[in-house]
Amino acid sequence: MQNLVILDFGSNSTRLSINEVSDEGKYREVFRAKEMTRMAEGMGNSEKKVLQADVIERTLDAVRKFQKHYENLPNLKIKGIATAAVRVAENKEEFLEKIKSLTGVEVEILSGSAEAYYDYVGVANCLDVKDAVICDMGGGSFEVILMKNKKALNLISIQYGAVSLTEKFQTQDKINAGNLFEFEVFLRELFAKKLPWLSEAKDLPLVLLGGANRTVARKKLGKLDEKDTTNIHNFRVYKEEFQRIYRKWLDMDKTERATDLGDESSRADIIIGGLTPVMQLMLQCESPYVMFSESGVREGIIFELLAEK
């Protein structure tokens, strides 16, 4: 048996996944953890895309915490990946060298198309759906995939995410109507340019990945009095309820949202920036409901690694 560790340096959070891989090529996740490191912080309104010094230190601290969970495991393989914030950062080499010095791992920077592809592989192998539009809302980018009969017909990574959109349209606190209008117009124009194939996605459900999206599922499960609000895989929320939750948070200021979000209060400032593109996708696709997936990039990479064995 092999212990496979995935270190995932996302634009909003840094994540750890520890997986047991059997000699037969099957895997089981035995531990996961995340730290909100906000690597895309400061990139939304700045032409100069730089990882801030305090952001780098926050991320190194997160990895030090993670190491305590895996450093003594036998037969260890560590895979490091980084996405949008690192991908565009002018000082990415400085960051990668610090991670390598700390862990010995050479982190792979995923291209946008690779990130979208691995999202597709993770969903196609783990979720009970054949036809859907997959949307992974990250901190610095979001990926959109048109899947029909389990095949990816179109996929793209768009270089805006929950953190960068929040900074660009100032949606951290009480939302200004003018800013929201500009945000929605921006998204409609962006989708028309980048996603012309959405016309082929009418009436398909959305499969949602990413922290902001999953927060909606956990909020809905809490309203259903589910004791375990972490198990959101395959969970559905119908369009009207999703819109109601979004509009409720839209009408709140940051403090009110933080109170309403409870354990997810750290997302209070970026939740509108993360969900507004999803709302636009839902409207354009006329999706009757959304489904939530816990499987995405990390799981897609694991499936590829197992296929190479």
- Domain regions of the chain by residue span: 2-109, 128-292
pLDDT confidence of residue 229: 46
What is the distance between the alpha carbons of residues 86 and 167, in angstroms, rounded to a whole number? 18
What is the distance between the alpha carbons of residues 270 and 161, in angstroms, rounded to a whole number? 10
Structure tokens at 163: 């953190």
pLDDT confidence of residue 230: 62
pLDDT confidence of residue 48: 82
For strand 14-21 and strand 27-35, is the pairing parallel, antiparallel, or unpaired? antiparallel
Quote the DSSP letter at residue 205. P
pLDDT confidence of residue 18: 97
Amino acid sitting at position 49: K
Amino acid sitting at position 8: D
pLDDT confidence of residue 280: 97
- Name the H helices within the chain: 53-70, 84-88, 92-103, 112-126, 162-169, 177-194, 211-223, 239-250, 254-261, 271-285, 297-308
Helix (H, G, I), strand (E, B) or coil at 81: strand
**What's the average pLDDT block by block, 10 residues per block, for the chain (309 residues)?**
96 95 91 94 80 96 98 96 95 98 98 97 95 95 97 96 93 95 98 97 96 86 59 91 96 96 91 97 97 94 86
What is the distance between the alpha carbons of residues 133 and 117, in angstroms, rounded to a whole number? 13
What is the distance between the alpha carbons of residues 112 and 86, in angstroms, rounded to a whole number? 11
For strand 206-209 and strand 132-137, is the pairing parallel, antiparallel, or unpaired? parallel
pLDDT confidence of residue 25: 85
Beta bridge partners of 158: 142
The set of residues, in sequence order, having a beta carbon less than 8 Å from that of 252 and lying 6+ positions away, is 174, 260
pLDDT confidence of residue 225: 53
Same fold, 2-109 and 128-292: yes
Beta bridge partners of 237: 290
First CA to last CA across the chain, in angstroms? Answer: 13
pLDDT confidence of residue 47: 74
What is the distance between the alpha carbons of residues 292 and 139, in angstroms, rounded to a whole number? 18
Class for domain 128-292, per CATH? alpha beta
CA distances from 11 to 58, 86, 175, 261 (A): 13, 8, 23, 21
**CATH (residue range 2-109):** 3.30.420.40
pTM beyond 0.75, yes or no: yes
What is the distance between the alpha carbons of residues 88 and 71, in angstroms, rounded to a whole number? 30
